[in-house]
Structure 1
Amino acid sequence: MDIITLVSKDNVEFEVPKEVIIISQTLKAMVDSPFIENSGKITLTNFDSPVLAVIVDYLNYNFKYKDEDPTKVDIPEFEIPTELSLELLLAADYLNI
């Protein structure tokens, strides 16, 4: 299992498995590119650590429940901190998730 390190603009690092990262089309393109991001570390200067932490949580949540049938499994709601709503909306658009 490949681990990719996401780095926030305030230099906080989050280690995430590659199969979780590729849920985001933007991050997938970065990881699969011939550029520096392919080295296993992606610096996301657009996001501070609280926003990136929620993004990482969401990517893990999405990966965990993506193949589940909601009629057979009780999938919990993903909670979004109200104070980060706008920033997360912009992040989701940028990351295509």
Structure 2
Amino acid sequence: MMMGEMSQGQREMQSLVRAANATARAQGSMEPVTLVANDGTEIIIDRRAAMVSGTIKSMLAGPAEYSESLQNTIKFPEISPQVLEKVVQYFYYKMRYTNHPGHLPEFKIEPELALELLMAANYLDT
């Protein structure tokens, strides 16, 4: 697969993220949080999905002196947009399948993202 091409699994996960956000917006229950990658790319997700991360949860639910809790925007100067997108996909995967009975679908990770994703997951406490 060439760089920039998406696998079927990636397309399915992006579809899952879009559908979850659309459902939350339609129900009026979406509290948006903006995650900003190192190149300025912004990804808007539901606050509930963001709270999968222990680090983000601390920033958003912590004392009001955290600017992130006031602005609902979190910048990640060390995380690329590709890795941040995969992290967001995992947040929604985790939300959907936590306490899910039965077989869980595989969460696919592209080998070229594995090391950066591991470092991001460690920092984000996911």
Q: TM-score, normalised by structure 1?
A: 0.92
1:32 positional shift: 1.3
Aligned counterpart for 1:6 among listed residues 11, 32, 35: 35
Query: After TM superposition, which residue ranges in structure 1, 4 or more long, deviate above 3 angstroms?
Result: none
Q: 1:75 maps to what in 2?
A: 104
Structure 2 counterparts to residues 79-90 of structure 1, below 5 A = 79-90=108-119
State the structure with bigger RCO (CA 8 A, min sep 6), 1 or 2: 1
Structure possessing the higher radius of gyration over alpha carbons: 2
Q: 1:41 maps to what in 2?
A: 73
Deviations 1:75-94 (A, max 9, x none): 21000010010111111111
Unaligned runs of 5+ in 1: none
Aligned counterpart for 2:45 among listed residues 5, 16, 32: 16
Bigger strand fraction: 1
Q: TM-score, normalised by structure 2?
A: 0.72
Describe the SS at the equivalent of 1:15. strand
1:67 positional shift: 2.2
RMSD, aligned CA: 0.9
